[in-house]
Amino acid sequence: MSPERPYFGPAYEYEIDPEFRPSYLNLERDVPSLPVEPGIVVRPVLGKRLNISFIYFEPQTVAPVHQHREEQIGTVLEGSLQFELAGQQRILRRGDVYVIPPNVPHGAVTSEEGCITLDVFSPPREGLRELVERSGNQGKGRISS
């Protein structure tokens, strides 16, 4: 890391968006579980430019091949799944990452074991904010200011 641009750089003058509060959240306590397909539940945390989603797959589950305009990067946290990305299939486990540019078709299936992935989207995945707001429990973890 060059001394001219340290990763943890010095303080600078800035303005903070009053509408966008920093927060601590605990997945179990503060983040809604949203069923999106049989055997698939999503726990999303929303920012403004991006969102992260913890996705829980039961064994023998199919996330059909689909596409969306959001950029996506994901990784396997637990278990395994067979992923399909731009027609290429791979078995993925912890330590594997997939990069999905906008509009590129992808999907996944689990077999004997379940899987937990962490998927990140920018901009936030369409429809997710609405679903979270409807579930009514985003924001419990906010820092009081």
Shortest Cβ distance from residue 115 to its own copies (Å)?
15
Per CB under 8 A, 41 contacts its own copies: no
One-letter amino acid for residue 48 of the chain: K
CA atoms within 13 A on the CB side of 126: 7
Sign of the Cα pseudo-torsion (81, 93, 58, 102, in order): negative
One-letter amino acid for residue 123 of the chain: P
Residue 117 DSSP class: E
What gap in Å lies between CA 8 and CA 2, rounded to an integer? 11
Site residues (CB under 8 A) for its own copies, limited to 113-132 = 118, 120-123, 126-127, 131
Shortest Cβ distance from residue 145 to its own copies (Å)?
7
Shortest Cβ distance from residue 111 to its own copies (Å)?
18
Per CB under 8 A, 140 contacts its own copies: no
Per CB under 8 A, 3 contacts its own copies: no
Q: Tokens for 134?
A: 């409807």
Per CB under 8 A, 112 contacts its own copies: no
Site residues (CB under 8 A) for its own copies, limited to 45-104 = 45, 47-52, 63-64, 66-69, 71, 73, 75, 77, 83, 85-86, 88, 90, 92, 95-104
Residue 125 DSSP class: P
